[in-house]
Amino acid sequence: MFNSLPFSTLVNIAVVIAILALSVAIHEAMHGFVAHKLGDDTAALEGRLTLNPLKHIDLLMTVLLPAVLLLIGSNPIFVAKPVPIDTRRLKYDEFGMAWVGLAGPLTNLALAVLGAIVARLAGVHLNISDGLIYASTAGLVFYTFISINVALFVFNMIPLPPLDGSRLLYAFAPDPVRRVMEQIEAVGFFIIIFVLLVLSSAILPIVRTVTESIVTFLLR
């Protein structure tokens, strides 16, 4: 996905980081917009109800770390600054938080669909056959945009705290399961690192396969 762009290595990384910054900014903003609609204005008070990437990205985790990992040919880790949510102020309790959680990854899926539609309407040459990409330069940029957003959707839908997919599980899980999930979520970011570094051989191939299947479906 990240090595398909026809530019120099540094330009490829710059394009990927730019697409990533835009995608995660919209992702995080949608968390805040839905929370605001459900009664929590915490994100609004902190100036996070905006599509400005500078308000949502973290210089180290959203820019520098992914750039270094891409430079050495490793799988990049994408992390933005989480939008602050006060669950006590949300309507519908855990179901309200489930809507807030789903807003982010579903937005990324919508961006991927929109990217595929725009590419088709613009007549951009982009095709996948037997696992190979046949595309113009513009097509490869669209492919990268679509792939990144699908990957963000798939990864964030994993029902493991603190990923967004866990919010849907929270809404329906019995209390004992919720308590376990709360203990896991207390560790926060370290769980994501554990998944990526320790369980990557089991989880990332599944994420990659699902991502590629969705991207292929969108482009065909």
Dihedral Cα 155, 161, 165, 171, nearest 10 deg: 180
> 93-121 and 9-37 are packed helices; what angle lies between their axes, rounded to 10 degrees?
140
Count of Cβ atoms closer than 10 Å to residue 132 Cβ: 8
Count of Cβ atoms closer than 10 Å to residue 93 Cβ: 12
Dihedral Cα 185, 191, 196, 197, nearest 10 deg: 180
Show Cβ contacts of residue 215 under 8 Å, excluding neighbours closer than 6 positions: 112, 128, 143, 146, 147, 150
Catalytic-role residue among 28, 182, 185, 212 = 28
Look up 28 and say whether it is catalytic. Answer: yes
* Mode of pairing for the β-strands spanning 126-129 and 132-135: antiparallel
Report, as residue numbers or ranges, the catalytic residues.
28
